[in-house]
Structures are given as C-alpha cells and as structure tokens.
Amino acid sequence: MKVIETDIEGLVIIEPKIFTDSRGYFFESYSKQEFDKNICPIDFVQDNESCSTYGVMRGLHFQRPPFTQSKLVRCVKGAVLDVAVDIRKGSPTYGQHVAVELTDENHRQFFIPRGFAHGFAVLSRTAVFQYKCDNFYAPQADGGISILNSSLGIDWRIDPANAILSEKDTRHPMLADFDSPFDIDINLYS
C-alpha cells in the first residue's frame, strides 16, 4: 500500500496495490500487519456500511470521550467527497480540514484518527460507503459540528442548499459555537 501524508498530521490517504488481469482486479483492502507497520498499531472492532443517493451529506460526526473512534473509510460503489475536520483544542490546525474523493475506481481509503469530525457528500447517483472503527458505536456519545458551516471553507462539490440531511445533522452547532471535548494532547490512535 502507498500511504499519502496530508497537510494535517494523522490524516492519511491510502492507495492499495491493485493487481489486474483479464478477469478483473484484486487488492488487499485491509491488512492489520501492513496498517500497524505503515500507519499505526490499531484494533478495529466494528465495520459499518451505508448506502446513499446523490446529494446526501452525512456528518460532521464524532464520538465524545471515552467512546472516541478512529475510522478507516472507503467507497466501494460510486463516489463521495470525504472530509475530516480537526477539532482538537489547541491544535495548530484546529478548524482546518482535509477532503479526498473516494471512489469505486480509485479504491482510495482515508484514515481519520480520534480528535477529528468526519463527514461526506455523495457525488454519484448512489454510493456504498464502508468504514472500520476502533471503538464501538455509543449513541450517548454522539457529537457533531454543522456540515453546512461555510466558515470551514469546504467545497462539497454539491450545493449544500439542496443537500439531503438527516434531522440530527441539521441540529449540529457551527464550529464557532462548539466546545470541543478534545484537546491537542489526545492520543490519536487509542
């Protein structure tokens, strides 16, 4: 696998080594041994999948301590713009984001450690999105910042005014009104 560093420490893009022949393609979508060696030691405990249509925006989500999560995300059908926002108080990159297009053609994955809010916008007719988490889902620890927060400077590549959002995602605060449960000293990986 090829690991691509981003402008924000901890956020990395992963490109798998793809083997193609007349039958199609093959690649390892995850190897604990390779991940631990090239990114960080981690124990993923839960896999999730969602299916969404064009214009759906999900996020920007996180789980509050002690239920924080790191995520390894990918799009197995269609295309999404995936975004992680640094929400660690005291971080030199607080409020900044990294956006990456994940598609069924580029097979890229995006690793989002603890201390970041995460969301995506569906760019294709439909998209099937999968992600691994290193902590179990805890509904009482749900948190988020508004995906429609223009001060974040995210170009979602769809018109947010016409986005399809869950009721929950319309209630998240703007970053300026948000009191982050994370600080710069959070252990990103465990």
Catalytic residues: 61, 131
The arrangement of strands across the sheet holding 116-122 comes to: 97-103, 79-86, 116-122, 57-63, 142-144
H/E segment holding residue 36: helix 32-38
Show the tokens assigned to 11: 């956020």
List phi, psi (to 5°) of 129.
-120, 130
Tokens of 63: 């789980």
The whole-angstrom separation of Cα 147 and Cα 105 is 26
How far apart are alpha carbons 185 and 98 in whole angstroms?
A: 20
Contact 159, 52 (CB under 8 A): no
Q: How far is CA 181 from CA 69, 86, 108, in A?
A: 13, 12, 30
